[in-house]
């Protein structure tokens, strides 16, 4: 099948499926909220009706008002034809250079903003200024995501980035994918940045800009946003599962049908997940989007730096290294926190990363696979779910379990962490044992975890920090087990886990009693037995 | 000959204490269970100890001379502590100092605690040893924090934090030993079995062995109470109920040392001689004798005084282990003697606490008039613990100094001075308790009755004296030598 045909078919498919996608999101959200919801084919009728309606256009507008719907719709349509959504290597594939794509998106955004400003209404101006803020913050993230992928795949075209099987061999791209997911939410005006179904003007961002449009123009703008949503979701799904996108050249009729089916499947799954997400989280207040965008920015930055690092030094990064680094990262975050729920949550995330380390190791040692998988599963059950539950349950009556500060302010705590990590690296480089044990990175992770756990116990003055410090140390010993012995007999592992849960429980109960007797959870008060 | 019967018995005992409703039933059932449990352990260990059965091991359990000795001591102390608990906890419950819930918690945890201790000394799998050692810490935390007081909670907190941290570090050492053998070609279960580690020690690279033993020494040493990891010991041993303090000082510290000794044997086999590990033992043992000497001079609490004396005696045993092979024999004799004497002292301290309701030495006056039996037995205990003949500790310390003055004269001089200081302070505190204050109070004193605690103390002190005569003879000496020979030091 020729590339021209592939590109045409892909474009037509996207244009046809877009309203269905939008309707599907609304249906899933309705079902999750306990309503029946309208049929997913309703948007087709809506657009058809809107196209036939008469438009009402204010006298105070200029030519821009009339140009905006055409520009915005054409940018979306161009992207539908250019990006590798169903087929890779279509005729226009060379146009899918990521700067070009980012530029097209920008043109669409700019004209939409101008359209909101053009009428001179208050709400339009408000929507435009909000949209410009979001766009300014999301643009660097998108660029960095694609830069990271271009380092890995060696090409600037998005077509080439999907063509290579990236994720399985470069696990750090998960960071970039996560950042791209957050940027998708921002670009398409979904939760938690914007509510596409709101009727309250003060909560609108995207809707405020198209408030003055009616009839055909409104249909074009809504159709454009539906197409953009479909494109982004299929692109995200293709990044995660690049095997579902077929090469355009040399395809038969059956593969074409298969590609269409895959396309529909991706749309359905992504829209379902989007509906689930929108039903679970709340829309943020506008001034808090900078936190959201900074998370996206830093994740994209981390992914870009790691891919730059690994491509220039030709170091192979394995899954277990990434998860090990994540485990240390979460513990570092825990060290600077002062709220009990946040600290316990970071501990749970760090334990989840350790389960990920075990999974990563199971790819390297296929004969120990079941052992490592069982270990990962039990780790998740016990350390991610049970232990935090036990700790939170015991101290649920004392929500202010953390009131006493640590010896150090947060900034100096981070200096201490950096010092510990540096000293660990130095010690490891100079002791002869390092050459004997394989997996230097994991050994470093385990020693760093033990060191940080000890520091948490000593430096932080409150009871929960000492409990968490002990648990972090035991996590470090667990990673050490994975490094050296790979897997212990099942009975012993179960015994170790029982011991960990029992210690967490006993420590929490004791901590509670101390808090009852002493009135605070400051361990400086535990000084009555001195000499 | 597996300890499975003991496991079942003690688990049933703990469940009984948990489920029975009335205090008398719980006390009686625990007493009966203690008798049955300790006799079941005696049935396994005494034949091995006295040479009637051969040394025996399988994948999980190891029963050689050293294990048999430790198991017998644990069982004996469990028995005596249960008898004393019957009286002590029963009396405290009558005086409404503890509630029924606390009583049930005490007895159910006591049996689990004893079970973990017994399993630690007969374990062959090093990970099982580690697990049961951690189990002793976990099960005894609430025993330490039994009373609803500020100081109890603080003592229990320090205990569990420091001991759990230490034992986690110890796990690193155990794993390194296993990893070292796996590098040498041993596979599967052999990596973690003590007997296979003994056989294959020469395959482990010296670097790994040194790191592994350092982790184990520091980790288990925190549980042992070596300076500077001893800060929990005085608090925990003085705030726990007296029978538990007796168990702690008497046998739990010895069990931590048992773990260190087993791994030290592997280290020595791997390194070829015991010079490197002896240096570690020497340093920490020496420091652990000197520091309590300073602390002892300012003690105002007689239970804390006894706890610091435990630190000092563990220091002496550690120091002795640095002087193998004569020191190893002395260490074993000292372990036996310290177990019997210190637990008797703590049981006596419990009696004093029951009479006077305070642990401050300054407030205990006129002990000789008020509680003559306790006073005399306590005095004999103190005389035994400061190694006056005919105490068996005299035999062991004499042996240690014979070896030490030859190898490390200056250190021995300092230790001698420290021991003298300790002897002086302990005697002074004790004698101060005996006589009434200057104002002659003529209160109608109740005549103290001779009860089970006194029986227990008397039996233990008689054993101490009897063992002196046995162990200072030739046959006793060779008996201990046969225990220590290929478990503690390498025979040439």
Provide the mean pLDDT of chain A.
84
Cβ of B131 and A499 within 8 Å? yes
Residue B487 domain flag: yes
Cβ of B178 and A466 within 8 Å? no
Residues of A in contact with B175 (CB under 8 A): 477, 480-481, 484-485
Average pLDDT over residues B31-44: 90
Q: For the segment A405-430, what is each residue's pLDDT rounded down to a tens digit? A: 555 566 677 777 778 887 877 777 66
In this prediction, residue A66 has a pLDDT band, given cuts at 50, 70 and 90, of very high
Residues of B in contact with A473 (CB under 8 A): 165, 168
User: B308: burial class by Cβ within 10 Å (0-12, 13-18, 19+)?
Assistant: buried
C-alpha–C-alpha distance, residues A52 and A193, integer Å: 32
| pLDDT above 80 (res A200) | yes
Query: For B153, which of A454, A481, A513 is closest by C-beta distance?
Result: A513
Q: For the segment A355-364, what is each residue's pLDDT rounded down to a tens digit? A: 888 888 887 7
| pLDDT above 90 (res B346) | yes
Domain tally, chain B: 1
Query: Residues with Cβ < 8 Å from A296, sequence gap 6 or more?
Result: A138, A141, A179, A182, A183, A186
C-alpha–C-alpha distance, residues A245 and A82, integer Å: 14
Cβ of A502 under 8 Å from any chain B Cβ?
yes
State ipTM.
0.86
Among the listed ranges A130-144, A442-456, B131-145, which one has the minimum average pLDDT value?
A442-456
Residue B371 domain flag: yes
Single out the residue of B422, B418, B411, B413 nearest to residue B283, CA to CA.
Answer: B411
Average pLDDT over residues A27-54: 94
Average pLDDT over residues B260-280: 88
Among the listed ranges A131-145, A305-319, A469-483, B75-89, which one has the minimum average pLDDT value?
A305-319
In this prediction, residue B422 has a pLDDT band, given cuts at 50, 70 and 90, of very high
pLDDT for residue A530: 59
C-alpha–C-alpha distance, residues B225 and B223, integer Å: 5
Give the number of other CB atoms < 10 A from CB of residue B17.
24
In three-state secondary structure terms, A247 is strand
Cα nearest neighbour of B173 on chain A: A477
Q: Tell me the count of A-B CB pairs closer than 8 A.
A: 99
Among the listed ranges B58-67, B188-197, B461-470, which one has the minimum average pLDDT value?
B188-197
Cβ of A499 and B205 within 8 Å? no
Cα nearest neighbour of A517 on chain B: B150
Average pLDDT over residues B375-401: 91
Cβ of A528 and B150 within 8 Å? yes
Cα nearest neighbour of B181 on chain A: A485
Cβ of A485 and B175 within 8 Å? yes
Cβ of B168 and A517 within 8 Å? no
In this prediction, residue B443 has a pLDDT band, given cuts at 50, 70 and 90, of low
Query: For B168, which of A431, A473, A513 is closest by C-beta distance?
Result: A473
> Radius of gyration over alpha carbons of chain B, in Å?
22
Residues of A in contact with B135 (CB under 8 A): 499
Q: Tell me which of A509 and B446 has the higher pLDDT.
A: A509
Average pLDDT over residues A299-327: 75
Long-range contacts of B192-199 (CB under 8 A, 24+ apart): B192/A492, B192/B125, B192/B126, B192/B127, B193/B59, B193/B124, B193/B125, B193/B126, B194/B62, B194/B123, B194/B124, B194/B125, B194/B126, B194/B129, B194/B262, B194/B266, B195/B57, B195/B62, B195/B124, B197/B126, B197/B266, B198/B265, B198/B266, B198/B269
Cβ of B234 and A529 within 8 Å? yes
Residues of A in contact with B292 (CB under 8 A): none
Average pLDDT over residues A268-275: 94
Cα nearest neighbour of A511 on chain B: B157
Cα nearest neighbour of A530 on chain B: B235
Cα nearest neighbour of A523 on chain B: B154
Residue B129 domain flag: no
Average pLDDT over residues A388-405: 67
Cβ of A503 and B138 within 8 Å? yes
HSE, side-chain direction, 13 A CA sphere, residue A427: 11
pLDDT for residue A225: 95
- State how far Cα B478 lies from the chain centre: 24
Residues of A in contact with B211 (CB under 8 A): 431, 433
Q: pLDDT exceeding 90 applies to what percent of chain B? A: 39
Residues of B in contact with A449 (CB under 8 A): none
Give which of A506, A525, A527, A528 to mutate to test B binding, by max B Cβ within 10 Å: A506
Residues of A in contact with B128 (CB under 8 A): 492, 495
Residue B32 domain flag: no
Residue B167 domain flag: no
Among the listed ranges A8-22, A193-207, B335-349, which one has the minimum average pLDDT value?
A193-207
pLDDT for residue A407: 57
Give the number of other CB atoms < 10 A from CB of residue B238.
25
Average pLDDT over residues B308-314: 94
Min distance A128 CA to chain B CA atoms (Å): 57
pLDDT for residue B58: 82
Cβ of B165 and A470 within 8 Å? yes
Min distance A385 CA to chain B CA atoms (Å): 21
Query: For B208, which of A433, A481, A502 is closest by C-beta distance?
Result: A433
Residues of B in contact with A480 (CB under 8 A): 172, 175
Min distance A505 CA to chain B CA atoms (Å): 10
Q: For the segment A79-131, what is each residue's pLDDT rounded down to a tens digit? A: 999 998 888 877 787 788 899 999 999 999 999 999 999 988 999 999 999 99
Average pLDDT over residues A436-446: 71
Domain-by-domain residue ranges, chain A? 3-307, 318-525
In this prediction, residue B159 has a pLDDT band, given cuts at 50, 70 and 90, of very high
Average pLDDT over residues A196-219: 91
Cβ of B131 and A496 within 8 Å? yes
| pLDDT above 70 (res A168) | no
Min distance A109 CA to chain B CA atoms (Å): 57
Query: For B161, which of A466, A517, A528 is closest by C-beta distance?
Result: A466
Cβ of A506 under 8 Å from any chain B Cβ?
yes
In this prediction, residue A369 has a pLDDT band, given cuts at 50, 70 and 90, of confident
Cβ of A513 and B178 within 8 Å? no
A188-192, A408-412, A522-526, B450-454 — most confident range: A188-192
pLDDT for residue A289: 86
Average pLDDT over residues B438-467: 79
Average pLDDT over residues B443-453: 74
pLDDT for residue A184: 94
C-alpha–C-alpha distance, residues A434 and B377, integer Å: 57
CA dihedral A38, A44, A48, A51 (to 10 degrees): 100
Angle between helices A98-118 and A215-240 (to 10 degrees): 150
Cβ of A529 and B151 within 8 Å? yes
Q: pLDDT exceeding 70 applies to what percent of chain A? A: 88
Cβ of A499 and B135 within 8 Å? yes
Residues of A in contact with B192 (CB under 8 A): 492
C-alpha–C-alpha distance, residues B163 and A365, integer Å: 35
pLDDT for residue A520: 67
Name the residue range of residue B417's domain: 292-436+450-492
Average pLDDT over residues B303-332: 90
| A residues 416-455 lying closer than 8 A (beta carbon) to B | 431-433, 436-437, 450, 454
Q: For B168-190, give one letter per residue: b (16+ CB within 10 A) or e.
A: bbbbbbbbbbbbbbbbbebeeeb
Min distance A425 CA to chain B CA atoms (Å): 17
Q: For the segment B181-211, what is each residue's pLDDT rounded down to a tens digit? A: 887 777 777 778 888 888 888 888 888 888 8
Cβ of A529 and B189 within 8 Å? no
pLDDT for residue A38: 93
Bond prior to B73 in cis (omega within 30° of 0) = no
Average pLDDT over residues A455-482: 85
Q: What are phi and psi of A246, to 5 degrees?
A: -100, 155
């Amino acid at each position: 099948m020729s590339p021209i045909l592939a590109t045409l078919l892909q474009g037509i498919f996207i244009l046809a499926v877009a309203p269905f996608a939008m309707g599907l999101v609304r249906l899933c959200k309705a079902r999750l909220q306990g309503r029946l919801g309208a049929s997913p084919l309703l948007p087709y009728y809506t657009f058809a009706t809107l196209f036939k309606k008469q438009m009402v256009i204010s006298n105070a507008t200029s030519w821009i008002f009339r140009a905006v719907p055409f520009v915005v719709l054409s940018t979306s349509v161009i992207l539908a034809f250019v990006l590798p959504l169903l087929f890779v290597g279509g005729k226009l594939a060379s146009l899918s250079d990521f700067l070009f794509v980012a530029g097209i998106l920008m043109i669409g955004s700019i004209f939409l903003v101008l359209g909101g400003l053009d009428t001179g209404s208050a709400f339009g101006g408000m929507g435009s200024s909000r949209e410009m803020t979001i766009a300014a913050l999301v643009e660097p993230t998108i660029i960095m995501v694609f830069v990271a992928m271009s380092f890995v795949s060696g090409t600037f075209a998005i077509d080439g980035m999907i063509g290579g099987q990236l994720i399985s061999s470069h696990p750090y791209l998960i960071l970039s994918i996560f950042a791209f997911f957050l940027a998708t939410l921002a670009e398409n005006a979904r939760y938690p940045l914007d509510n596409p179904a709101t009727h309250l003007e003060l909560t609108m961002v995207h809707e405020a800009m198209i408030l003055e449009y009616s009839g055909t123009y409104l249909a074009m703008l809504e159709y454009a946003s539906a197409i953009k949503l479909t494109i982004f979701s299929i692109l995200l799904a293709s990044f995660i599962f690049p095997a579902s996108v077929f090469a355009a050249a040399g395809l038969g009729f059956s593969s074409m049908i298969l590609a269409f089916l895959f396309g529909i499947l991706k749309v359905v799954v992504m829209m379902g997940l989007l509906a689930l997400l929108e039903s679970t989280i709340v829309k943020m207040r506008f001034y808090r989007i900078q936190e959201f965008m900074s998370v996206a920015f830093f994740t994209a930055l981390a992914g870009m730096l790691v891919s730059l690092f690994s491509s220039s030094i030709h170091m192979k990064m394995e899954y277990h290294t990434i998860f090990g680094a994540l485990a240390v990262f979460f513990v570092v975050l825990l060290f600077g926190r002062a709220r009990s729920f946040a600290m316990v949550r970071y501990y749970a995330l760090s334990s989840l990363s350790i389960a990920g380390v075990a999974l990563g190791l199971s790819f390297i040692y296929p004969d120990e696979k079941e052992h490592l998988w069982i270990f990962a599963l039990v780790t998740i059950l016990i350390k991610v779910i049970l232990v935090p539950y036990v700790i939170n349950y015991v101290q649920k009556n004392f929500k202010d379990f953390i009131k006493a500060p640590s010896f150090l302010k947060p900034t100096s705590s981070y200096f201490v962490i950096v010092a510990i990590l540096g000293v660990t690296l130095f010690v490891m480089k100079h002791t002869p044992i390092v050459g004997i044990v394989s997996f230097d990175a994991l050994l470093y992770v385990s020693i760093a975890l033990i060191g940080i756990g000890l520091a948490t116990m000593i430096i932080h003055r409150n009871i929960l920090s000492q409990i968490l410090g002990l648990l972090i140390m035991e996590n470090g010993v667990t990673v050490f087990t994975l490094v050296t012995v790979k897997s212990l007999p099942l009975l012993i592992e179960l015994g170790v886990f029982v011991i960990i849960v029992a210690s967490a429980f006993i420590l929490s109960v004791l901590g509670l009693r101390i808090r009852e007797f002493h009135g605070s959870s400051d361990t400086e008060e535990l000084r009555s037995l001195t000499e | 000959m597996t300890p499975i019967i003991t496991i079942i018995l003690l688990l049933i005992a703990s469940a009984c204490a948990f489920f029975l409703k009335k205090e008398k039933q719980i006390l009686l059932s625990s007493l009966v269970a203690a008798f049955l449990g300790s006799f079941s352990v005696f049935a396994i260990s005494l034949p091995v100890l006295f040479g009637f059965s051969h040394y025996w091991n399988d994948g999980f359990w190891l029963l050689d001379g050293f294990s048999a000795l430790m198991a017998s001591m644990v069982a004996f102390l469990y028995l005596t502590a249960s008898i004393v608990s019957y009286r002590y906890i029963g009396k405290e419950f009558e005086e409404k100092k503890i509630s029924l819930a606390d009583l049930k918690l005490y007895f159910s945890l006591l049996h689990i605690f004893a079970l973990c201790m017994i399993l630690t000394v007969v374990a062959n799998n090093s990970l099982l040893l580690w697990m049961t050692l951690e189990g002793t810490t976990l099960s005894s935390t609430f025993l330490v924090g039994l009373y609803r007081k500020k100081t109890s909670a603080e003592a229990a907190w320090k205990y569990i934090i420091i001991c759990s941290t230490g034992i986690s570090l110890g796990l690193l050492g155990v794993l390194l030993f296993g990893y070292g053998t796996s590098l040498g070609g041993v596979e599967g279960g052999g990596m973690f079995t003590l007997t296979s580690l003994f056989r294959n020690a020469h395959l482990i690279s010296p670097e790994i062995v040194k790191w592994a033993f350092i982790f184990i020494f520091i980790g288990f040493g925190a549980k042992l109470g070596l300076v500077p990891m001893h800060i929990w010991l005085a608090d925990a041993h003085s705030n726990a109920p007296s029978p538990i303090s007796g168990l702690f000082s008497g046998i739990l510290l010895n069990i931590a040392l048992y773990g260190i000794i087993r791994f030290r044997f592997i280290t020595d086999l791997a390194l070829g001689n015991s010079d490197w590990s002896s240096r570690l033992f020497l340093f920490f043992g020496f420091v652990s004798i000197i520091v309590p000497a300073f602390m002892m001079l300012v003690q105002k609490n007689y239970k804390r005084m006894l706890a610091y004396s435990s630190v000092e005696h563990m220091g002496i045993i550690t120091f002795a282990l640095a002087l193998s092979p004569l020191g190893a024999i002395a260490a074993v004799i000292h372990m036996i003697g310290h177990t019997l004497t210190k637990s008797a002292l703590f049981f006596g301290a419990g009696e004093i606490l029951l009479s006077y309701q305070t642990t401050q030495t300054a407030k205990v006056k006129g002990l000789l008039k008020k509680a003559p039996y306790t006073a005399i037995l306590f005095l004999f205990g103190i005389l035994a613990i400061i190694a006056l003949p005919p105490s068996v500790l005299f035999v062991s310390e004499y042996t240690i100094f014979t070896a030490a003055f030859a190898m490390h004269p200056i250190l021995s001089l300092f230790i001698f001075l420290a021991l003298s200081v300790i002897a002086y302070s302990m005697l002074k505190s004790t004698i101060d308790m005996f006589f009434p204050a200057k104002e002659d109070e003529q209160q109608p004193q109740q005549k103290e009755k001779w009860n089970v605690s006194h029986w227990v103390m008397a039996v233990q002190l008689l054993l101490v004296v009897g063992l002196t005569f046995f162990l200072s003879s030739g046959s006793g000496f060779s008996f201990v030598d046969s225990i220590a020979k290929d478990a503690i030091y390498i025979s040439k």
